[in-house]
Amino acid sequence: MAKILEGIRVFDLTIAAVGPWATKLLGALGADVIKVEAPGGDRLSHMVPPTIKGNSVLYISANHNKRMIELDLKKEADRAIALKIIAHSDVFVQNMRPGAVERLGLGYEVVAKINPRMIYVAASAYGRTGPMAGEAGIDPTVQSFCGWCGITGPKHGRGELFRHLAHLDLTTATTITQAVLQALIARERTGRGQRIEIEMLTAAMALQTTRLAEYFATGTQPAPLGSAAATTAPHQAFICEDQRYLAIGVERDEQWPGFCRALKLGELITDERFATNPLRVKHRDELIPILTERLKTKPAEWWTIRLNQEKVPNGLFLKFEELRNHPQVIANGHIVELNTPHWGQMAVDGLPWKFERTPAGPIRAGGKPGEHTAEVLRDLGIVDDRSVGVSK
């Protein structure tokens, strides 16, 4: 079956996670993604632990659905090959430090001259202007800078980092993928390519758009609230009799009566203090102790059954092994088991979208640096006239 991005070729000059994850998603949509690495690959991508059979999982994971080639862009012969691939490409993605790609002679002006239809993405941590222009950034430094540690932590406690150090990387990556798709649509209509700039900092701020709005409205820094939501209530975790925490989310007023019935606290339905969401948020400190007392009298599963009957959102705090084998996860392919030629079987992220007519995927392991150099050059009809062989 035809893939959405069939016939679209991506010249992928990305490193670490931000750029690679973006092009991996384009690959899942059917693009021919050619990941170009310097011999041996970049240190950051290949050194990050943990490893599987000696290769960094970050590298393995961020480079599915691609063909891997090696070119030493500091050498004229290799650069000439790169320019030929660029002439045959539709999308160019790079996330090197500002200025680095220009020094390799592959800045936008050069590329656009060879290929005016090129969609050229330059992603960076802090952008090309301002006092921090050109500075590198990684997930934890951008987390620290972008304000989101200040809204995350125990109730009114110290703000903390999110220890899964990839969320802002991947948020930026998905923003790149989205921008490329937008530019492909624009190109169908205008016939022209363009340059797209994306900063990780702005992507991280956009992800906090609802929380920044609270600050703009009040002029006061929103405090960490543990598991609680700031603008809806009750929307937090409660400990149950079996010492498990249960997440409950009443976000809509129509969920409130059912929630009260599930807890057998029918008298709260007509309590004026709690009649609407704004009132429940305002009287949170009166409401939550009542609910806490009630919920600790029965085990989590007992409440789950009652809340499900009333269609009130609720869920347990799950862990990896529970998730990997969770029927819901398996049924929807949220996490899938992938057989790879080099690294054995592993659990990988499933595709984030479903297309009824043009299914994305299947997910395919990428490869080791340079694994597909000869194949790609052959496919593109590029004669490799360098004296040093490229086969691995």
Partner 1 sequence: MNNAGSLDGFRVIDFTQGLCGPFCTMQLGDAGAEVIKIEPPAGDFARRMGPPFVGDESAVFLSLNRNKKSVVLDLETASGREAAARLTCGADVIVEDFAPNAAETVGLGYAQLQGANQKLVYCSITPFGEDGALRDAPGSELVVQAMAEYAASLGRIGDPPVRVGADVASLNTGIFAAQAILAALFHRIRTGEGQRVAVSEFGSLLHMRGIMWSSMSDPDDWYGFHLDHYTKPPDYGYQTKNGALYFILRRGNSEDWDRLVMELGMEEVLADPRFGDYGRAATSIGRYATEVKPIWEKAFENRTREELVDLVKSIGGDAVPIMDYPSLLAHPQVAALEAIAEIDHPTAGRLKMVRPVACFSETPESIRLPPPALGQHTEEVLRVTNFAASKSK
Site for partner 1 in 324-363 (CB under 8 A): 324, 327-335, 343-358
Minimum Å distance from CB 77 to partner 1?
29
For 236-302, the DSSP string reads EEEE-TTS-EEEEE--SGGGHHHHHHHTT-GGGTT-GGGSSHHHHHHTHHHHHHHHHHHHTTS-HHH
Instruction: Closer to partner 1 by CB, 328 or 387: give it.
Output: 328
Cβ proximity to partner 1, 94 vs 175, nearer residue: 175
Residues from 65 through 124 that contact partner 1 (CB under 8 A)? none
- In the complex, least distance from residue 190 CB atom to partner 1, rounded to whole angstroms: 6
> Of these, 16, 170, 260, 377, which contacts partner 1 (CB under 8 A)?
170
What is the DSSP annotation of 158-219?
-----SSTTHHHHHHHHHHHHHHHHHHHHHHHHS--EEEEEEHHHHHHHTTHHHHHHHHHHS
Element (H, E) at 146: none
Of 119 and 376, nearer to partner 1 (C-beta) is 119
Site for partner 1 in 280-299 (CB under 8 A): 281-282
Which of the residues 185 through 224 are near partner 1 (CB under 8 A)? 185-186, 188-190, 192-199, 201-203, 205-218, 221-222, 224
Give the nearest distance from C-beta 358 to partner 1 in angstroms: 6
Q: How many residues are given for the chain? A: 392
Q: How far is the CB of 207 from partner 1 (least distance, A)?
A: 5
> In the range 19-38, which residues lie near partner 1 by CB under 8 A?
25, 29
Pair 41, 369: CB distance under 8 Å:
yes
**Per rule CB under 8 A, count of chain residues that contact partner 1:** 163
Instruction: Give yes or no for residue 58 binding partner 1 (CB under 8 A).
Output: yes
Check if the beta carbon of residue 27 is closer than 8 Å to that of residue 203: no
Closer by beta carbon to partner 1, 227 or else 265: 227
Contact 207, 53 (CB under 8 A): no
342's tokens: 């080099």
